[in-house]
Structure 1
Amino acid sequence: MGLRSRLDAVFKGPEQFDLTSGGVGKPLFFLALPIVVTNLFQTAYNLADTFWLGQYSTDSLAAISFGFPLVFLLISLGMGVSVAGSVLVAQHTGAGEERETEYAASQTVTFAAIASLLLGGVGYVFVEDLLRLLGASTDVLPLATSYLEVITLGLVFMFGFFVFIALMRGYGDTITPMLVMFGSVVLNIVIDPFLIFGWWVFPEMGIRGAAVATVFSRALALVVGLAIMFEGSRGVQINIRDMTPDLGYLRRLARIGLPATVEGTGRALSMNLLLVVVALFPDTVVAAYGIGTRVFSVVFLPAIAVARGVETMTGQNIGAGEPDRAEAAAALAAKVLFGVLSVLGVVVFVAPEPIVSVFVGAGQENADQVVSVGAEFLRYVALTFGFIGIMRAYTGSFRGAGKTLTAAAISVLMLGVVRLPVAWFSAQAVGETGIWVAFAVSNVIGAVVAYAWYQRGTWRDADLTDSETVGADAAATDD
């Protein structure tokens, strides 16, 4: 029995369950489980960098606290292309429109490549100015700049792989991206310390080495992903003949994707503006903030994965004319995520110090202070983890229905209208503790708003496949 057969027996691929008929629990589970594992691998990139750089120096750890949000900002500016592609692929797949599915995926790859090259170039030119604007200290600025210069030059590889994952997920195949991600993560983790510390024949590159390891491993993953999609035996297929830029189709992608870009950019800007608040405090607080947000990225893996599963199920069921199944999937996801994340929150609340200590080298300067501040951060936020699950489940369904503007509005409200102002004013009054309070308050409000908005039922009006128009576009390129 081959490796692929064994994995299919455990995870089950799209050919083994139907997203548009029968119960919703099992298909949602089998769709989301590989996404959880894929996202765990994705997070391993960040955790590996955080761990090794934590052993290297406290300033390097503070530098990636500035680096990650800026990378997220650049990727978020192009996120709408991948979200739109995933939604269109899901809806056409649910409607049984194979030719339109291939055309949507091919056009998405083309415009994603163009967007990432432009964003990477702009990011490279202005990275140091942005870091100064965010308040990076004189010790941290050159390190963060060094890291981000490499990342921006390799942004096309990083963003390209995200697009591969999104398109395969829209089709319903979450296993193949998981396998490709696994190989990429293993490679990154192995070469990380060699490039950071200068082991064996490699020069000591410090924080720049972490960036080189990430870009190199992502580039190989993208090559494999493109080969899989061109070959077409697993998941969605792309074709060279469909990749000539179609400005008419770009308008369709923009109509769905622009709000998703607003949502992602809003999240990223909130993260970066929060850094402005955090940077008012010593580098130990900045380092603790970076560790805390990395821990959240692990804890929220189930929420992100299930939300993406809900997105795919909603898209395919909207395409198949089954909105009640989409609603049932979102409700089930919200309940399960609230329970699971609440349990994880209790665990983190009880023992935050050992978790933070993993990322701080014992011999580093001010290590004890970083651990203390990071533990306080986790303890304030932990008991609101479950509310993140509720918000993610419903915003995922909004996106799958093509209501990306609604999802964006909820995200901007939570982060820009609630979290950032609360953090700013609370930090002035009670110090860094005010920032932690802002996270907790915004998590709860975001969940309440998402649930209430979803109950209005406006997402049921979605009809974005526009089959006759898309079909004509695709047919025009057929041989």
Structure 2
Amino acid sequence: MNGENKMGTMPVGKLMLSMSWPAMLSMMIQALYNVIDSIFVAMISESSLTAVTLIFPIQMLLISVAVGTGVGVNSLIARRLGAKRFEEADLAASHGFRIAFINWAVFAIMGLLFSKTYISAYSDSPYIIENGALFLMITTGFSLFVFIQVNTEKVLQATGSMLLPMLCSLSGAIINIVLDPFLIFGIGFFPKMGVAGAAIATTFGQFISMCLGLTLLFGRKHQVTVKIKGFKFNGEIIKDIYNVGFPAMLMQSIGSVMLFCINGILAFSETAVAVLGSYFRLQSFIFMPVFGLNQGAMPIMGYNYGARNKERLMQAYKVGIIIAAIIMTIGTIIFLTFPEQLLKMFSASDNMLKIGVPALRTICLCFIPAAFGILTSTIFQATGHGMLSMWQALIRQLIGIVPLAWILLKIGGLTMVWWAWPMAEILGLVYSLIFVKKLYKKEIEPLGHENEKYNQEKNL
């Protein structure tokens, strides 16, 4: 357990790639099954796609709570391992699993009681209300699987193990993709379940991922040990988890709140809502690899911050930005060049193409500045400054986009709404530049002086 961790010794570029590619591949597969879900649902009808799109913010909120808590657990474990405080790392992992059950109970109750009320606020179509509410009840009722799955993956990632979490996500995604057509359209002996079939395929895939993750975590030796018995909640550990985890949760849920608001702004057009849903599934192919890179970069940054190694911390940050910028540039080129072909994957009507083609070409202009924002958010979280990440996300995804979208709709109509995304991203870029510079001067630059002093004392 006390051997030198690779996050403190391996060359940073090689380490970043070795730790990131499994998460990047895993999240690409996650994006793939979200898109395939929507492609199959769109084959039923445009109203079915609209129903699933209206549910998407709730799914994002659920994932935000799961991932936000997991990020807090991940960051705390990585920092404690870097500081050689192994017992506290074990406690952080143990708390994460208990918290997962609490989070699940909240969403399951809310889904059971308020699904129809929520859908009815956005649509008066009986078909959309019925199918949307059923989809929501299924996904929230069985959300325990995803809460435990995400926590398991974050614990494994915090120890530097990125391949095992990838295998967990990959297994669930494959199961989901395979089951989708059988359960949606009733192929073979499977019943034809429509939109509900997509929800069941998703939850069953999450169940498989959870089972594999638990097997890998408890069936092998790791630097972190999760305690099942003789365990009591510790207020300080929970506080440490949510010092980073709560802002990360809010940061991710901001995207969900933004979609609530934008769906409301676009409620006058069912087709515009369908376009927005299609965009968010398509852009996940571009953003998910960067979020996978984020997962590989965070434990490296957190470990070396805990180990007071300025050079490796900053090198990880710079390498991460370069890789993210390359990915985002490729994504921008694809969206600018092939918007019609991308939308036709969702059985787009002529009206949907008329609205969607300029929408995709406009929104994708936010991709490249987002690369810098995402990696800057990572260094904020890795150094224990989750609030800086939260405010960055507020500017990029809520304070910026929603008012701009409303104003632009009033000024120039639907075509202008999509400019809210690149404009908000520029605001986020300015914020990131200001505060990462402050963080560097106040906390990161002094790490170099600490190491110099330590080396001088060591040589005396």
Selected match of 2:423 from 422, 426, 441: 441
Selected match of 2:284 from 297, 306, 310: 297
More divergent stretch after superposition (302-311 vs 403-412): 302-311
Selected match of 2:357 from 375, 397, 418: 375
- What's the counterpart of residue 229 of structure 2? 241
CA distance in 2, matches of 1:110, 1:186: 28
1:393 aligned onto 2:375: yes
1:427 maps to amino acid: L
- What's the counterpart of residue 412 of structure 1? 394
More divergent stretch after superposition (59-68 vs 79-88): 79-88
User: Equivalent residues in 2 for 1:240-279 (5 A)?
Assistant: 240-241=228-229, 243-279=231-267
Cα offset for 1:412?
0.6
CA distance in 1, matches of 2:231, 2:41: 40
Q: C-alpha offsets along residues 233-266 of structure 1, whole Å, 9 cap, x if unaligned?
A: 3574322136543344323323332222221222
- What's the counterpart of residue 285 of structure 1? 272
The answer as to whether partners of 2:373 and 2:432 remain within 8 angstroms in 1 is yes
CA distance in 2, matches of 1:449, 1:267: 18
Q: Which runs of 5+ in 1 are unaligned?
A: 1-14, 362-366, 463-479
CA distance in 1, matches of 2:325, 2:104: 35
- What's the counterpart of residue 339 of structure 2? 352
Cα offset for 1:287?
1.1
CA distance in 1, matches of 2:373, 2:164: 27
Distance 1:202 1:260, change over 3 A: same
- What's the counterpart of residue 429 of structure 1? 411
CA distance in 2, matches of 1:280, 1:459: 49
Selected match of 2:317 from 313, 327, 330: 330
1:320 maps to amino acid: A
Q: Which runs of 5+ in 2 are unaligned?
A: 445-460
CA distance in 2, matches of 1:137, 1:458: 53
The answer as to whether partners of 2:93 and 2:226 remain within 8 angstroms in 1 is yes
- What's the counterpart of residue 89 of structure 1? 77
Q: C-alpha offsets along residues 348-404 of structure 1, whole Å, 9 cap, x if unaligned?
A: 20121111111227xxxxx22223322221111223311111100100111111110
The answer as to whether partners of 1:123 and 1:152 remain within 8 angstroms in 2 is yes
3-state secondary structure, aligned to 2:193? coil
Cα offset for 1:137?
4.4
Cα offset for 1:34?
0.9
Count how many residue pairs are aligned between Structure 1 and Structure 2.
442
User: Equivalent residues in 2 for 1:140-289 (5 A)?
Assistant: 140-233=128-221, 236-241=224-229, 243-281=231-269, 283-289=270-276
- What's the counterpart of residue 40 of structure 1? 28
Selected match of 1:316 from 294, 300, 303: 303
CA distance in 2, matches of 1:397, 1:188: 33
CA distance in 2, matches of 1:275, 1:172: 39
1:241 maps to amino acid: K
2:112 maps to amino acid: Y
CA distance in 2, matches of 1:295, 1:388: 16
CA distance in 2, matches of 1:314, 1:260: 16
3-state secondary structure, aligned to 1:336? helix
Distance 1:403 1:459, change over 3 A: farther
* TM-score, normalising length: structure 1: 0.87
3-state secondary structure, aligned to 1:456? helix
1:323 maps to amino acid: K
1:202 maps to amino acid: F
Structural RMSD (CA)? 2.2
Distance 1:310 1:100, change over 3 A: same
